[in-house]
Amino acid sequence: MVTKVPEDEDHPAGPPLLPAVPAGLRTVLDFVVSGKATSRAEIARRSGLVRTTVGKHVDHLVERGILREFEANESVRGRPPRVLALSPRAGTVAVADIDMLASRIAIADLSGRVLAQETVEIRADAGPEVVLDAVTERLLGLLVRNGHDPGRVREVVAGLPSPVDFERGCAVRPTGMPGWGSYPVAQELSDRFHAPAVVDNDANLMALGEACQERADTPLLGIKISTGVGAGIVTAAGEVYRGADGAAGDIGHIRAVGGSDVQCACGNVGCLSALASHRSVLHSLGIPETADGDLLHGARVLAERVAHNDPPAVRALHQAATEIGEVVAMLIYMFNPRTLVIGGPLSELRDNLLSGIRAVVYQRAQTLTTRDLTIIPTRLGESSGIHGAIALATRDVFGPQGIARMLVDDPPDG
């Protein structure tokens, strides 16, 4: 059964005609959201806008519940200063990082702070309708249980473990995901939440989540090693590079150096995913990926065998690291990133995996491309995709179209 946010007068079925947002209002909101200024006087001083203009825009945003203004708690002489911040009434974003074995979901406020998150244990091969039904139900449950109006979700973002047509919001020729090819995921989520929805590749969201962390150096290249192998590229400007058709970073189907005649799920032979993904390493060792409903069974058994220096396990991990390192060295030549982040289940075995990848990268790549390169495991672990999805959503919400939607959706109080 498909569950949708109930329609009401504030959320009509059709998309509203969006008015142009005054540049001054966008400036005021940007200063508050970014934390660059927290009072009317400070905004006027730093932006160069006239105080009366700042006051008009602040009043407009406060009336609509997008900003709130309150007295600071700090003890000062005279009248306590009044500060501005995003209002809790401004809304939330809802995100899902859909993987082959399970999906991670979360809700966050518009500052990007995670309010609640959980895991939905449903396989992607159950089909898009089943997965999206489960994800929708659980996201709505998170909203209601945490006291947030489902009708004030500003954007929904979903990550998929496949190439994605970003403009159409759907997977393109995914492997091992029956029914997902060209399925209108973004439109389905938009219809269910009555909010804009965006779909992106999971490796892109992982890379963006890592790039948005404090002291992260860009350009950043993220490699996700899971059921397949994918890459996400974040530019020096902080934007995800998706390519002409959204297929940038689909490195799992590059022919590996030691590819031989190993069959890949895509139908070709010798693909990187067929030799070096988490799933392929488990398969080569005869370790079941899951057992008795335990989604982490394979990862746990592999980690135990590596920790005990089991020769076949250590050898398989070393071979995977070598194959990935060869492809990554080529990517470093092409994109010259400042940071290389390794994520996914295999990244938990960081000592073995990272040392193997580093060895190949530094051997293959020229000094110019590696002299300032940092190679690290993901700092956010399994949550990196969630944080990337939240970052993508909040950027859209405070873009021109997102602000215009908020102004249309939220009439003045009273």
The pLDDT tens digits for 76-97 are 565 678 899 999 889 999 999 9
- The strand pair at 103-109 and 114-120 is best described as antiparallel
| CATH class of domain segment(s) 214-378 | alpha beta
DSSP string for residues in 288-316: -S-BTTBTTHHHHHHHHHHHTT-HHHHHH
| Spatial CA neighbour of 247 closest among 178, 326, 167 | 167
* Structure tokens belonging to residue 94: 């809802």
3-state class (DSSP) for residue 407? helix
Q: How many CB atoms lie within 10 A of CB 309?
A: 8
DSSP code for 240:
B
Q: How many CB atoms lie within 10 A of CB 263?
A: 11
| pLDDT of 261 | 83
Ranges of CATH 3.30.420.40 domains, the chain: 90-202, 214-378
Identify the weakest region by mean pLDDT among 36-45, 196-205, 364-373. 364-373
Residue 8 has pLDDT above 70, yes or no: no
| Spatial CA neighbour of 240 closest among 203, 195, 198, 196 | 203
pLDDT tens digits, residue range 330-344?
999 999 999 999 999
3-state class (DSSP) for residue 115? strand
pLDDT tens digits, residue range 233-276?
999 999 999 998 888 999 999 999 877 788 888 889 999 999 99
pLDDT tens digits, residue range 182-222?
999 999 999 999 999 999 999 999 999 999 998 899 999 99
Q: Which CATH number fits domain 90-202: 3.40.50.720, 3.30.420.40, 2.60.40.10, 3.40.50.2300?
A: 3.30.420.40
Q: Which residues contact 238 (CB under 8 A, 6 or more apart)?
A: 211, 212, 218
What is the rounded distance in angstroms from the CA atom of residue 80 to the CA atom of residue 58? Answer: 19
